[in-house]
């Protein structure tokens, strides 16, 4: 792991503190900057995890001076951080703004001059972390222009790293092209492809739970596990992002990245150590082991749906096609479910059911590991009733924790078995849990890419989902991008009422196997 000049950190703290660096955020006038990135930096600074010598440079097209930019950031902190003014006096002094065009070399030459001045004034040696919070179509151009003006690759003054937001490509071909263009400027170890789900405490705890506990590690295989469910449910709609979602859909927006990341962590083989490449090597192996979905297997094991008008939280909400920016005959999926098989020794024969959707009954992300029943019921003649399967549930959001469901005898003379829950909540920890972006920004500044996706990992995920996009008629074409409204109408688009748990066809996906979805 590349940790150029990492400081030892705050006395008494196990956290590491990075060496002095400049964070340059492209797209600094956007919502991600105000809602997530600056509150994360503020929290890091409050905890003493930013170096004393640090600078933040925001880059955007909007005409704005330094003071106006700082004022907007401070207002965002008041809204999204409980005590947003507490350390702003120090952090605010380290902020600069640069107006520039993402495709103009002259703008990047001006940025070089600003960086040299800021680093000289702040006493920063030349470590630079570039964060692309821009529309995806600007990623490759920004990287190439950074290289053209000498801000990419290796140089003797310090490190240069680049953080890229999702989506990283639109299918396998575009992901490969973007990787190739970025790697003409930056080496793989300098590229940090961010998936904020990997910064969540419970997601990181999946590996700790699996590998650090002798109770569960021996059970994590086909001998004891009946099936696994992974669900990412959202109760919100488009929130003004209709134009984006029409080009994305649930498959690109959630399945290709967040859901496959969770699946790889749950199912991968134990790495030899918690080392950057050891962990990511096992994730890539797992993705390659997922049985491809093509032809009849794709038609039988992939369900796509689209919400219609309904009620969420007691409030009437419109259907997807009535949302702003959505075509009246849109074929874009707002829900999808898949049955996957992993062809390796550990998981042969164990189905993994994954689903995600908008306007569902509740916001919830969880992993449900369902164990095989006991091989013999000693209580079959006692009237104890049907014994339920044991469930291990990893709650990822909104209430982070772990639950275990098992059978216990009810008090009384008769043998009656009742399902009971044993639960752990992350709220029981006294320490404040860091937000996902807080953790990921710190790791990028330290040069630790364990929680970021590697090139082969991104391409392996796209290799799995691109045949689905092709079957739906939603891949890129030479004439342009095929949007949701021109999807393949031969592939069923199953309606479901907003506020429900998805289309009936998704329920049937499990029911034909004698199983059912867990209701969060």
* 303 φ/ψ angles, rounded to the nearest 5 degrees: -115, 135
31-35, 74-78, 278-282, 443-447: which has the minimum mean pLDDT? 74-78
* Contact indicator for 387, 394 with CB cutoff of 8 Å: no
Assess whether 141 and 232 both reside in one domain.
Answer: no
Assess whether 46 and 124 both reside in one domain.
Answer: yes
Domain count, the chain: 2
Residue 518 in domain:
no
Q: Is the pLDDT of residue 377 over 90?
A: no
Question: What pLDDT score was predicted for residue 15?
Answer: 67
Residue 4 in domain:
no
66-70, 74-78, 433-437, 485-489: which has the minimum mean pLDDT? 485-489
DSSP string, 371-429: EPPPSS-TTTTTT--PPPPPEEEEEEESS-EEEEEEEEEPSSSS--EEEEEEEEEGGGS
Assess whether 126 and 246 both reside in one domain.
Answer: no
Q: Is the pLDDT of residue 122 over 60?
A: yes
Question: What pLDDT score was predicted for residue 85?
Answer: 58
Question: What pLDDT score was predicted for residue 133?
Answer: 94
In this prediction, residue 212 has a pLDDT band, given cuts at 50, 70 and 90, of confident
For 186-214, give one letter per residue: b (16+ CB within 10 A) or e: beeebbbbbbbbbbbebbbbbbebbeeee
- What would the two tokens of residue 59 be? 């880059």
CA dist., res. 491 & res. 246, Å (int): 17
Q: Which of 74, 82, 45 is CA-nearest to residue 58?
A: 74
Assess whether 58 and 112 both reside in one domain.
Answer: yes
Question: What pLDDT score was predicted for residue 312?
Answer: 94
Per-residue pLDDT tens digits for 293-343: 988 999 999 999 999 999 998 999 999 999 999 999 999 999 999 999 999
| CB neighbourhood size of 271 (10 A) | 17
6-20, 119-133, 152-166: which has the minimum mean pLDDT? 6-20
Q: Distance from first CA to last CA of the chain, Å, rounded?
A: 38
Pairing of strands 54-60, 21-26: parallel
* Contact indicator for 302, 468 with CB cutoff of 8 Å: yes
Residue 6 in domain:
no
Question: What pLDDT score was predicted for residue 86?
Answer: 58
51-65, 335-349, 371-385, 479-493: which has the minimum mean pLDDT? 479-493
Per-residue pLDDT tens digits for 399-437: 888 988 876 666 766 666 767 788 888 777 656 677 889
- What would the two tokens of residue 47 be? 């905890």
CA dist., res. 16 & res. 45, Å (int): 13
In this prediction, residue 74 has a pLDDT band, given cuts at 50, 70 and 90, of confident
Question: What pLDDT score was predicted for residue 424?
Answer: 84
Q: Is the pLDDT of residue 157 over 60?
A: yes
CA 516 from chain centre, in angstroms, equals 26
Q: Which residue, of 114, 148, 165, is where some domain finishes?
A: 165
Q: Is the pLDDT of residue 12 over 70?
A: no
Question: What pLDDT score was predicted for residue 430?
Answer: 59
Look-up of token digits 């529309």: 135
Residue 154 in domain:
yes
For 119-158, give one letter per residue: b (16+ CB within 10 A) or e: beebebbbbbbbbbbbebeebbebbbbbbebebbeeeeeb
Q: Is the pLDDT of residue 383 over 60?
A: no
Assess whether 117 and 230 both reside in one domain.
Answer: no
Assess whether 27 and 73 both reside in one domain.
Answer: yes
* Contact indicator for 235, 334 with CB cutoff of 8 Å: no
Pairing of strands 391-397, 364-371: antiparallel
Look-up of token digits 């003379």: 413
Q: Which of 499, 502, 471 is CA-nearest to residue 487?
A: 471
Q: Is 376 a catalytic residue?
A: no
Indicate which CATH number applies to the domain containing 43: 3.40.50.720
Assess whether 143 and 223 both reside in one domain.
Answer: no
Residue-number span of the structural domain to which 71 is assigned: 21-165
Assess whether 158 and 285 both reside in one domain.
Answer: no
Q: Which of 343, 329, 335, 291 is CA-nearest to residue 310?
A: 335
Residue 126 in domain:
yes
Indicate which CATH number applies to the domain containing 281: 3.30.360.10
Inter-CA distances, 181 with 107, 129, 141, 187, 195, Å: 20, 19, 9, 11, 20
CA dist., res. 426 & res. 429, Å (int): 6
Question: What pLDDT score was predicted for residue 475?
Answer: 61
In this prediction, residue 380 has a pLDDT band, given cuts at 50, 70 and 90, of low
**Size of the chain in residues:** 520
H or E segment to which residue 457 belongs: helix 455-471
Torsion of CA 244, 250, 255, 259, to 10 degrees: 100
* Contact indicator for 60, 28 with CB cutoff of 8 Å: yes
- What would the two tokens of residue 409 be? 């005898």
Q: Is the pLDDT of residue 27 over 90?
A: yes
Q: Which one is predicted more confidently, 202 or 476?
A: 202
Assess whether 133 and 231 both reside in one domain.
Answer: no
H or E segment to which residue 130 belongs: strand 128-132
Mean pLDDT taken over the chain: 87
Question: What pLDDT score was predicted for residue 209?
Answer: 87
Alpha helix segments (H runs only) across 198-308: 201-211, 242-250, 260-267, 276-289, 295-301
Residue 498 in domain:
yes
Assess whether 326 and 389 both reside in one domain.
Answer: yes
Please tell me the pTM assigned to this model.
0.89
Per-residue pLDDT tens digits for 253-298: 999 999 999 999 999 999 988 888 899 999 999 999 999 998 899 9
Residue 3 in domain:
no
Question: What pLDDT score was predicted for residue 413?
Answer: 66
Question: What average pLDDT score do residues 379-390 get?
Answer: 66
Question: What pLDDT score was predicted for residue 4?
Answer: 44
Residue 520 in domain:
no
Q: Which residue, of 120, 143, 165, is where some domain finishes?
A: 165
Which member of 227, 258, 341, 395 is catalytic?
258
Q: What percent of the chain has pLDDT over 70?
A: 87
Q: Which residue, of 144, 165, 186, is where some domain finishes?
A: 165
Assess whether 225 and 79 both reside in one domain.
Answer: no
Assess whether 155 and 203 both reside in one domain.
Answer: no
Per-residue pLDDT tens digits for 88-116: 777 888 999 999 999 999 999 999 999 99
Beta bridge partners of 419: 407
């Amino acid at each position: 792991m590349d940790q150029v000049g990492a400081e030892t950190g705050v006395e008494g703290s196990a956290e590491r503190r990075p060496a002095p660096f400049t964070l340059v955020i492209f797209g600094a006038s956007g919502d991600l900057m105000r809602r997530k990135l600056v509150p994360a930096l503020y929290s890091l600074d409050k905890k003493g995890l930013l170096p004393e010598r640090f600078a933040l440079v925001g880059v955007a097209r909007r005409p704005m001076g330094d003071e106006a930019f700082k004022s907007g950031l401070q207002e965002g902190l008041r809204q999204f951080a409980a005590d947003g003014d507490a350390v702003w006096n120090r952090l605010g002094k380290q902020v600069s703004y640069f107006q520039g065009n993402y495709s103009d070399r002259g703008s990047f030459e001006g940025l070089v001059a600003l960086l040299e001045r800021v680093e000289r004034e702040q006493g920063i040696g030349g470590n630079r972390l570039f964060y692309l919070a821009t529309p995806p179509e600007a990623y490759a151009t920004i990287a190439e222009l950074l290289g053209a003006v000498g801000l990419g690759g290796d140089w003797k003054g310090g490190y240069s790293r680049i953080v890229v937001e999702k989506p990283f490509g639109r299918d396998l071909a575009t992901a490969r092209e973007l990787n190739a263009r970025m790697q003409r400027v930056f080496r793989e170890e300098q590229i940090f492809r961010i998936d904020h789900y990997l910064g969540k405490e419970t997601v990181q705890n999946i590996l700790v739970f699996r590998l650090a506990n002798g109770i569960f590690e021996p059970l994590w295989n086909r001998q004891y596990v009946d099936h696994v469910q992974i669900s990412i449910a959202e109760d919100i709609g488009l929130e003004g992002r209709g134009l984006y979602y029409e080009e994305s859909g649930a498959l690109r927006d959630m399945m290709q990245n967040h859901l496959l990341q969770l699946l790889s962590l749950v199912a991968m083989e134990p790495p030899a150590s918690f080392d950057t490449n050891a962990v990511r090597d096992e994730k890539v192996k797992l993705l390659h082991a997922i049985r491809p979905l093509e032809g009849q297997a794709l038609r039988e094991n992939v369900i796509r749906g689209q919400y219609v008008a309904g009620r969420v939280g007691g409030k009437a909400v419109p259907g997807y096609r009535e949302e702003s920016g959505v075509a009246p005959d849109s074929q874009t999926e707002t829900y999808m479910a898949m049955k996957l098989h992993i062809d390796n020794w550990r998981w042969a024969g164990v189905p993994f059911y994954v689903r995600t959707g908008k306007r569902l009954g509740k916001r919830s992300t969880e992993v449900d590991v369902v164990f095989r029943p006991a091989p013999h019921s000693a209580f079959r003649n006692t009237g104890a009733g049907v014994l339920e399967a044991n469930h291990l549930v990893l709650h990822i959001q909104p209430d982070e924790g772990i639950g275990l469901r098992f059978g216990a005898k009810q008090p009384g003379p008769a043998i009656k078995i009742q399902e009971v829950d044993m639960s752990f909540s992350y709220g029981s920890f006294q320490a404040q849990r860091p937000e996902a972006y807080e953790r990921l920004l710190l790791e990028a500044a330290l040069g630790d890419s364990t929680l970021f996706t590697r090139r082969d990992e991104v391409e392996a995920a796209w290799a799995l989902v691109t045949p689905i996009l092709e079957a739906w008629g939603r891949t890129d074409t030479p004439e342009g991008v095929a949007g949701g409204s021109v999807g393949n109408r031969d592939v069923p688009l199953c309606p479901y009422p907003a506020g429900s748990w998805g289309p009936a066809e998704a329920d049937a996906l499990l029911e034909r196997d004698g199983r059912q979805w867990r209701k969060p």
